């Protein structure tokens, strides 16, 4: 294949998936390994990892690395088809926290939640078996990523310490990524991780707000009024958790 023709074919495909293309996709277009090597030598493509290439005009950053690893999970499929599949891999756990900008955990690789057991020899790629319903997924940098609430719950269940998790909750509240009632409801079953008695939603909410004073509209309020507002904000949580409330 002539270099120009190969570039046009790959450019059209890569434009729909962040400037990236897999070797498997290229092969289906009639662009073999020799052609890819020549395009790399000519400066049109750059090899990001085994089996995934980037058009050299595409930005190279952490998000692009995650996209490359995500594409490599099913290299024969196009991104647009996979993004429409509710059962495809979702970025989760530590990498999801980094992409949401909460906490300061070192991702140490890239996490994916997948519906069936998977293994890989790719360094730094971690799989977590599970399902991610639509309510627990969002889109960041064009990729399916677990929501802040699901990410927090995943990390709690993974056994991360309460201090790191409290920092994440504080960041999420400060940036308005979550609201107090929903994060208390989601994490109430794990209250002991935060040093709070199990099921004590009000105390858990107070702990979260104490960690995120910038997000606390009660900071300047008098204590009795603040307590009243706290109970009002958490009233729906008591009903959901089947507690009578204070």
**Of residues 154, 97, 160, the one with CA closest to residue 129:** 154
Task: Tell me how far apart the alpha carbons of residues 154 and 116 are, in angstroms, rounded to a whole number.
Answer: 17
pLDDT at 29: 86
Averaged in consecutive runs of 10 residues, what is the pLDDT profile of the chain (246 residues)?
69 92 92 88 91 88 96 96 96 97 93 93 92 97 97 96 93 92 93 89 91 67 45 53 50
From residue 55, how far is each of 11, 15, 17, 31 by CA, in Å?
8, 9, 11, 14
pLDDT at 190: 93
pLDDT at 135: 97
- What angle is formed at CA 72 by the lines to CA 66 and CA 78, rounded to 5 degrees? 100
pLDDT at 201: 86
pLDDT at 224: 44
**Full-model pTM:** 0.85
pLDDT at 120: 85
């Amino acid at each position: 294949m002539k270099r120009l023709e190969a570039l046009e074919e790959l450019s059209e495909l890569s434009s729909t998936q962040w400037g990236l293309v897999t070797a498997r996709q290229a092969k289906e277009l009639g662009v073999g390994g020799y052609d890819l090597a020549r395009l790399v030598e000519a400066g049109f493509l750059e090899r990001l990892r085994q089996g995934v290439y980037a058009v050299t005009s595409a930005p190279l950053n952490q998000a692009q690395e995650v996209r490359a690893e995500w594409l490599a999970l099913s290299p024969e499929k196009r991104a647009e088809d996979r993004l429409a599949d509710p059962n495809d891999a979702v970025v989760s756990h530590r990498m999801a926290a980094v992409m949401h900008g909460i906490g300061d955990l070192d991702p140490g690789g890239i996490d994916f939640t997948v519906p069936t057991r998977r293994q890989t020899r790719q360094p730094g790629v971690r799989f977590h078996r599970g399902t991610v319903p639509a309510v627990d997924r969002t889109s960041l940098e064009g990729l399916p990523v677990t929501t802040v609430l699901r990410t927090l719950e995943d990390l709690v269940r993974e056994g991360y310490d309460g201090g790191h998790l409290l920092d994440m909750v504080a960041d999420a509240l400060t940036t308005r990524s979550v609201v107090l009632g929903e994060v208390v409801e989601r994490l109430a079953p794990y209250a002991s991780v935060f040093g709070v008695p199990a099921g004590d939603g009000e105390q858990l909410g107070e702990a979260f707000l104490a960690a995120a004073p910038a997000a606390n509209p009660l900071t300047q309020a008098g204590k009795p009024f603040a307590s009243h507002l706290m109970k009002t904000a958490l009233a729906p949580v008591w009903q959901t958790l089947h507690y009578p409330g204070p």
